[in-house]
Structure 1
Amino acid sequence: MERLSTDYYVYPGATDRALRRYRAFAQSPGRRPLYPQDAECSCRGCSFDDVRHARDVLDEVLRQLPARAREELRRRVARLDAAYLQRTLPDPFADRRQWRSDLWWRRRLADGREGP
């Protein structure tokens, strides 16, 4: 699927990279809230600095995968989504700050740098 995708951000290895990035963020040690960081660059590599971009890529991959593979990935992502929701805070002004505020994972408070 990655080789056939026409999406700039979905390329061979992008799913693995996005999943690893999302898992590393959502399962960070500690109990304090986490704040996604903005990527300094929108190229294929640097864009993964923003965990929300990793979730964007996973969303796109889920749309393109065949049913069986989609369901397997969806289960993994759902567990990480629950952890992401627990560790981040809602952003009441996301509609003014986020270019894709229709996506629930982009409606969470972010900071210039990642961390608690």
Structure 2
Amino acid sequence: MPRRRPRALRAEQPVSRVWGPTPPFRIHGLSAGASLAVHHAEYRAGHLSDSCSLHPGATDRALRRYREFLHPPGRRPLYPREAFCSCTGCSFDDVRHARDMLEEVLERLPGRARAELGRLVKPMDAVFLRRTLPDPFAHRRPWRTEFWWYRRLVERSEWG
């Protein structure tokens, strides 16, 4: 019986792709390696169920939302708006939720990718601090958070 070559054996085996029919897209501003690391972190968080908010594509959406919020030119202060509902689609209406997502991804990334994403987020954080106003009553709130972006003034809705 003739021996089959390893290449022929591998060609017959089905190719398993973690990402499905299309490879993950590159996140604007990140290298291909850092984008892939972000996609791996999102995939692991979504499939291991240790994060209910982090899902594939969340980092790209959070970066776009954060840039969009900081984009208006001028010197007027910006006020983040609270989201009306907490579903996955509507939660990005609150830019602070987008910043939460970026922080969660930064904690999950390996060193080099974390540094690269951090270099993108750090200047945006500086603009956020400069363009928003501190909340003078943040220390009196019944809930306290360690994240500084929740201690800024927000535009409250009539519902809450």
- The aligned residue for residue 63 of structure 2 is 19
Rate the CA distance shift 1:77–1:100 in 2: closer, same or farther, 3 A: farther
The structure with more radius of gyration = 2
Unpaired stretches in structure 1, ≥5 consecutive residues: none
Amino acid at match of 1:55: R
Q: Work out whether 1:3 is the aligned partner of 2:43.
A: yes
Measured in 2, the distance between the counterparts of 1:99 and 1:78 equals 26
Which consecutive residues of structure 2, in runs of 5 or more, have no partner in the other structure? 1-40
Q: Displacement, 1:98? A: 7.4
1:26 CA displacement: 1.8
Match of 1:63 in 2: 107
Instruction: Label 1:39 to 1:13 Cα distance change in 2 as closer, same or farther (>3 A).
Output: same
Aligned residue in 2 for 1:53: 97
Q: Which amino acid aligns with 1:66?
A: P
| RMSD, aligned CA | 1.5
Q: Equivalences for 1:1-116 in 2 at 5 Å?
A: 1-5=41-45, 6-97=50-141, 99-112=143-156
| CA distance in structure 2 between the aligned counterparts of 1:71 and 1:9, rounded to whole angstroms | 22
Aligned length: 113
2:28 alignment counterpart: none
